[in-house]
Amino acid sequence: MHETLPVGNYVLKFDEQKGIFYLQEQEPFVLPPKLYGDFSFIERWKKSYVANTGKNLGILLSGVKGTGKTISAQKFCIEMEKPVIFITENYSGPGFESFITSSLFNDCIIFIDEYEKLYQEDRDEAEKLLTLMDGVYNTRFIFLLTVNDPDAISDKLKNRLNRVKYHKVFETLEKSIIDGIVNDMLEDEQFKDSIYEFILRFGFITPDILVTLIKEVNFFKESALVCASYLNLSYERAYYQIKVVYKGEQHSCESMELNPMVDTFRISFYDEVPKELTNTLPYKIRFKMRDYPFTRTESGYTFEYNSDIQIQLSTHQRRALVF
């Protein structure tokens, strides 16, 4: 008879016929043989939990799928060496609370993947789970939550450090991680430039996308841009402010929602511009910007129409852009 739950992975289940909750044991986590990136934040989480004896600890990992949330969460669980209970349904109520707050499960990790889908903030289930996280019961849990859409994070989790103390945001890969994956996986150096050109054009890159793309390049012996055209990569638009720079002077144009690497769009000046500019760049001329040299900027793109004319597209919205 165990006084506490043995270390392992378990899924919480409910038997409707018997009206009881129970745990179903799962396979242990298996991490890839090599991990890329900096995981030093895990040490901070571990030290914080050990130091805060008798208190729950909430950890939130947010970011689109494939950015490393799952690997980070699994690595943390493995290093903590504690039982992990997965909640995959929006359980709540007296029966759930009585079961999960049993002393048998004290000092466990409560793992809720895609929290925003299971516990929507306008439902009673969410309120009851938040009460559990608040420490109303005599428990010591680590609540490990993942969220795909950072904008969907409930206001009831933001700035509530008693519920969620740590928030790790997963975004596009850092260059050092990209370099490591490319150097380890790419078999033919002649395709290396095309990998980086794809990344520049796509704008938002995850480990899943990069690894899959490199495998395609290795298998088909084609450039990354060719391989990417066959993959299931979404073409997303953003609302851009458009400006034309002519001999160093900026001229504002009509703004619009577009994907500059895919769409053909018009240049429409708001104000009167020099005649020599309109002679070269006629009013409402239509462009497919992928046909011109470009550079990525912090807020968008700059395209080189010719030596005198640059077209700037800027947005403050973080969007995935594809070639």
Residue 233 lies in a domain: no
Residue 212 main-chain phi, psi, to 5 deg = -60, -45
- Assess whether 15 and 159 both reside in one domain: yes
- Assess whether 52 and 116 both reside in one domain: yes
**87 with 114: CB under 8 angstroms?**
no
Task: Map residue 80 onto helix, strand or coil.
Answer: helix
Residue 320 lies in a domain: no
Residue 270 lies in a domain: yes
- Taking the CB of residue 244, how many other CB atoms lie within 10 A of it? 20
Residue 322 lies in a domain: no
pTM: 0.73
- 206-216: string of b/e by CB count within 10 Å (b at 16+)? bbebbbbbbeb
**pLDDT in the model for residue 282:** 67
CA distance 79 to 243: 51
- Assess whether 113 and 259 both reside in one domain: no
Residue 92 lies in a domain: yes
**pLDDT in the model for residue 223:** 94
**Residue 297: which domain range?**
238-314
Rounded-to-10 torsion of CA 289, 264, 213, 78:
100
- Assess whether 15 and 163 both reside in one domain: yes
**pLDDT in the model for residue 322:** 38
Q: How are the residues of the chain apportioned to helix, strand and coil, as percentages rounded to the nearest 5?
A: 30, 25, 45
Residue 33 main-chain phi, psi, to 5 deg = -60, -25
- Assess whether 150 and 195 both reside in one domain: no
Domain total for the chain? 3
**pLDDT in the model for residue 295:** 80
Please list the ranges in the chain whose pLDDT falls under 50. Answer: 1, 317-323
**21 with 95: CB under 8 angstroms?**
yes
